[in-house]
Amino acid sequence: MTAAPAAPPRLEGLAGLGPIGLAELTAQAELQVRRDRKYVLPLSELATLLPALGRDTRILDIDGIRLFRYASVYFDTADLLCFRLTALRRRRRFKVRTRTYLDSGTCLLEVKTEGVRGGTVKTRLAYERQHHDDLGPGRWFVDAVLEDLDVSGLVFAPALATHYLRSTLYLPASQSRVTIDIDLSWTGPGRAAPDLSLPDLSLPGIAVVETKTRAAASEVDRLLWARGHRPASISKYATGLAALRPELPSAPWRRLLRRHFHPAAPACPAPAADRRTETCTVPPS
């Protein structure tokens, strides 16, 4: 999972933006509790969007790098509880993943849950990189974060790996962040060190733009709306898994799958019947 792309693409329009360091970005807009809006658009349209950004927009720059390599491993149960809670739009859905920042070697264990009014809450734990595909050392953390859901009896295993390149922008006026993900690819379970040149699914022609705000729409949201783009329901984990396994429920992403996703590998065998989905929908706190 640590291999690098041979020739990382560049995003035109980012070079002229002022830099912001990681410490300052975290101080200004950490936004661990936030409202996310995601947009899926062709790279050609992204190229016309970037020059329209305000001059005060700043870009995360670490040692001259502005486009960073990310790798995530998502964990789920044998009957894909996390996936099904998302596919069926349950309010108390959650995701468990490790995220590795390949340029720095930093690895984090993350639990994402739904907050009030549709917001996203992300809780993190520093993690050893060699355990990126092993939940064992951090299982105590997952159980603690999800204590009210009582997941201690569930068995989690790697279900999907994702790789992509990301640039992060800071918008001072709204104190919000924007991430731009390109060169997205997905690899199913069964390959401990997958060959990134042979993913199960890749989408080199699209970008996923995500705005992360405290509540109100950001300048980039309004700019995208003016150009006819609307927020899309997309989850790197759930949408990618639905694309790779067409027998799974996919109603929230059906239109998106038809338009943008093109699986490159046969579907995996159907999972065991899911009964847990009906019994883990506890009332919101």
Question: In terms of C-beta distances under 8 Å and separation of at least 24 residues, what long-range contacts does 88-92 make, across chains too?
Answer: 88/249, 88/277, 89/252, 90/277, 90/281, 91/281, 91/284, 92/149, 92/280, 92/281, 92/282, 92/284
pLDDT at position 55 is 85
How do 157-171 and 68-76 pair as beta strands? antiparallel
Locate the domains of the chain by residue range.
34-267
pLDDT digits (tens), the chain, 285 positions: 444 444 445 676 777 899 999 889 888 776 556 688 999 999 988 888 888 888 899 999 999 999 999 999 999 999 999 999 999 988 889 999 999 999 999 999 999 998 666 667 889 999 999 999 999 999 999 999 999 999 999 999 999 999 999 999 999 888 889 999 999 999 987 654 445 556 799 999 999 999 988 778 889 999 999 999 999 989 999 999 999 999 999 999 999 999 888 544 444 444 443 333 232 322 222
| Dist CA 137 CA 178 (whole Å) | 32
pLDDT at position 213 is 85
Taking alpha carbons only, the member of 69, 40, 73 closest to residue 162 is: 73
Please tell us whether the domain made up of 34-267 is placed in CATH 1.10.10.60: no
pLDDT at position 180 is 96
Taking alpha carbons only, the member of 35, 49, 86, 32 closest to residue 167 is: 49
- Start-to-end CA distance of the chain, whole Å, equals 37
pLDDT at position 32 is 58
pLDDT at position 54 is 84
pLDDT at position 244 is 92
pLDDT at position 117 is 61
CB atoms within 10 A of CB 149: 18
**Torsion-angle region of 36 (φ positive above 0: left; ψ -120 to 50: alpha; else: beta):** beta
